[in-house]
């Protein structure tokens, strides 16, 4: 047990803040990047999804490398990769190189996020872990929702490239803190599952490629059908391989635990709705309501401000109430907020009418995220924390990729950038889908514990 776990919480939170922020910090800069680099909507989508996709598929490998080579050491390596790739993003002369640099950024994030969460979970005893994870979740969630505000301020005040430059000094300053204030730890020394990594990468890429290309190439085209079909087959192959692999990157036995399987399904749908909605909401405020990047970001603050209060309060009460009530209620609130926005959004809607649904959706995320995370991490024993952390974060990031891809597909089918009315038509359809995804997350959350479970499920520990 870490003697001074507060330092672990601080370091993990700073690292998490950076990598979560970059998932969507580009959203308010997208209109500027579109003009400056001549990007299409598909290329704009890939500036977000290239990061999120590489982040997602490499998470389990990042967790395995940390278990084998040292979690503290690999956390520092991830920060170094992330900082270097951020500089490459800022220097990119065209959208193709920007997308490539974003993919490398995601690889660094894949080391940082699961290892920070694993070190944090191991640093606190079970009775204090929920509160620490609540603070950690609040900061992580704040980064996702505050990304548009920060991105807007930097884009309008300096230049869009500085949304990436700012990572460099923060990342380099955090690395010495990792070595000085965090104890080294290892997990089971398993070899990286290369076959599993290849299968899950191909599956995710095939499905996302099919969703991204559906409207432009045609949903009945050979390209789209082949991409979706190959992605689905590789996903099935991944599951079959993981069931028989000697050292799987994702032990399928972990899913025998209902809190683990329900929690991962819930975070997938929560992230799908959240990432997709943030992607479009920031653009709606600029493209339709003609606000600048900073003004658009500030107008999303009702979505953000709830995290300061609701996430820590949720974390401190989970042990008495259980994860299920917070997760179900939170996802229902997110669905209500998204549905409300879908019903009233249009070129002439007054901003004040959006404040209440944004705040309701923000409260929902703030309640659900720490509850789901605590359920997943609490469903496994100490030896399985690394793999549980990797699986949880992989599902969260894959959910984000899926959400943006599906919402863009719906948007492109119903609207366009051609006019404010055309954008609104696509926007309302996309946000309506975000509400549906939130409802699916609420259904998945029904499998979470009603009250705090005192001991770990035996099946999860055996599976590790």
CATH classification of the domain holding 146:
1.20.1250.20
Judgement on whether residues 288 and 202 belong to the same structural domain of the protein: no
Residue where a domain terminates, one of 207, 230, 248: 248
**Which residue shows structure tokens 């209440």?**
356
Q: pLDDT confidence of 463, banded at 50, 70, 90?
A: very low
The per-residue DSSP string of 249-315 comes to SS-GGGGGSHHHHHHHHHHHHHHHHHHHHHHHHHHHHHHTT---HHHHHHTTHHHHHTHHHHHHHHH
Mean pLDDT of the 381-400 span: 77
In a domain, residue 314? The reply is: yes
* pLDDT value, residue 344: 93
Q: Residue 13 in contact with residue 135, Cβ under 8 Å?
A: yes
* pLDDT value, residue 3: 55
* pLDDT value, residue 383: 67
SS3 of 103-142: the string is: HHHHHHHHHHHHHHHHHHHHHCCHHHHHHHHHHHHHHHHH
Judgement on whether residues 171 and 200 belong to the same structural domain of the protein: no
| Other Cβ atoms closer than 10 A to 6 | 12
Residue 359 token pair: 């705040």
Q: Which residue has the higher pLDDT, 20 or 457?
A: 20
* pLDDT value, residue 110: 87
Among 151, 173, 172, smallest CA distance to 162 is for 151
In a domain, residue 110? The reply is: yes
Judgement on whether residues 306 and 338 belong to the same structural domain of the protein: yes
* pLDDT value, residue 233: 95
Give the range with max mean pLDDT: 195-199, 403-407, 435-439.
435-439
Judgement on whether residues 228 and 139 belong to the same structural domain of the protein: no
CA within 13 Å, CB half, 343: 9
Mean pLDDT of the chain: 83
In a domain, residue 187? The reply is: no
* pLDDT value, residue 456: 42
Mean pLDDT of the 349-361 span: 92
Number of domains observed in the structure of the chain: 2
Judgement on whether residues 203 and 124 belong to the same structural domain of the protein: no
Judgement on whether residues 89 and 171 belong to the same structural domain of the protein: yes
* pLDDT value, residue 142: 67
Q: pLDDT confidence of 458, banded at 50, 70, 90?
A: very low
Judgement on whether residues 66 and 95 belong to the same structural domain of the protein: yes
Mean pLDDT of the 436-441 span: 96
The residue count of the chain comes to 464
Give the range with max mean pLDDT: 185-194, 283-292, 429-438.
429-438
Judgement on whether residues 211 and 161 belong to the same structural domain of the protein: no
d(Cα 58, Cα 102) in Å, to the nearest integer?
14
In a domain, residue 189? The reply is: no
Q: Residue 118 in contact with residue 71, Cβ under 8 Å?
A: yes
Question: Can you give the pTM of this predicted structure?
Answer: 0.77
In a domain, residue 49? The reply is: yes
Residue where a domain terminates, one of 233, 248, 263: 248
In a domain, residue 188? The reply is: no
At a CB cut-off of 8 Å and minimum separation 6, what does 409 contact? 211, 212, 214, 215
Find the domain containing 226 and state its range: 194-248
Q: What stretches of 166-193 show up as alpha helix (H) in DSSP?
A: 167-181
Judgement on whether residues 331 and 210 belong to the same structural domain of the protein: no
Mean pLDDT of the 405-430 span: 88
Judgement on whether residues 127 and 207 belong to the same structural domain of the protein: no
Q: pLDDT confidence of 464, banded at 50, 70, 90?
A: very low
In a domain, residue 376? The reply is: yes
Judgement on whether residues 118 and 206 belong to the same structural domain of the protein: no
Q: What pLDDT, in 10s, does the model give residues 139-153?
A: 776 676 667 778 888
Judgement on whether residues 225 and 366 belong to the same structural domain of the protein: no
In a domain, residue 331? The reply is: yes
Statement: residue 159 has pLDDT above 70: yes
């Amino acid at each position: 047990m870490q003697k001074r776990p507060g330092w672990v919480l601080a370091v993990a939170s700073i690292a998490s803040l950076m990598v979560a922020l970059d998932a969507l910090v580009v959203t308010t800069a997208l209109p500027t990047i579109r003009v400056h680099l001549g990007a299409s909507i598909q290329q704009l989508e890939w500036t977000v999804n290239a990061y999120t996709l590489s982040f997602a598929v490499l998470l389990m490998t990042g967790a395995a490398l940390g278990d084998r080579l040292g979690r503290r050491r690999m956390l520092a390596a991830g920060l170094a990769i992330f900082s270097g790739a951020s500089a490459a993003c800022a220097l990119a002369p065209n959208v193709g190189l920007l997308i490539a640099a974003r993919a490398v950024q995601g690889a660094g994030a894949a080391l940082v996020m699961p290892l920070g969460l694993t070190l944090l979970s191991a640093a606190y005893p079970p009775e204090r872990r929920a509160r620490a994870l609540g603070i950690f979740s609040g900061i992580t969630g704040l980064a996702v929702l505050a990304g548009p505000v920060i991105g807007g301020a930097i884009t309008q005040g300096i230049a869009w490239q500085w949304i990436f430059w700012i990572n460099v000094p923060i990342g380099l300053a955090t690395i010495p803190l990792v070595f000085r204030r965090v104890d080294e730890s290892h997990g089971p020394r398993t070899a990286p599952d290369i076959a599993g990594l290849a299968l899950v990468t191909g599956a995710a890429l095939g499905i996302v490629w099919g969703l991204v290309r559906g409207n432009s190439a045609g949903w009945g085209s050979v390209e789209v059908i082949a991409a979706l079909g190959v992605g689905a087959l590789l996903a099935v192959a991944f599951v079959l391989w993981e069931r028989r692999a000697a050292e799987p990157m994702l032990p399928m036995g972990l899913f025998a635990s209902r809190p683990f399987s329900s929690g991962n399904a819930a975070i997938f749908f929560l992230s799908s709705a959240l990432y997709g909605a943030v992607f479009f909401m920031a653009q709606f405020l600029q493209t339709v309501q003609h606000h600048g990047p900073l003004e658009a970001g500030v107008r999303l603050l009702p979505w953000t401000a709830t995290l300061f209060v609701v996430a820590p309060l949720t974390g401190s009460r989970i042990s008495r109430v259980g994860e299920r009530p917070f997760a179900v209620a939170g996802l229902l609130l997110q669905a209500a907020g998204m549905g409300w926005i879908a019903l009233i959004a249009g070129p002439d809607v007054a901003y004040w009418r959006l404040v209440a649904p944004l705040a309701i959706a923000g409260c929902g995320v703030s309640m659900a995220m720490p509850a789901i995370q605590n359920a997943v991490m609490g469903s496994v024993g100490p030896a399985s924390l690394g793999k549980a952390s990797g699986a949880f974060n992989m599902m969260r990031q894959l959910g984000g990729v899926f959400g943006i891809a599906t919402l863009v597909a719906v948007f492109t089918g119903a609207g366009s950038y051609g006019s404010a009315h055309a954008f609104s038509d696509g926007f309302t359809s996309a946000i309506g889908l975000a509400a549906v995804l939130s409802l699916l997350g609420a259904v998945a959350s029904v499998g979470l514990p009603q009250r705090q479970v005192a001991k770990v499920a035996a099946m999860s520990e055996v599976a590790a």
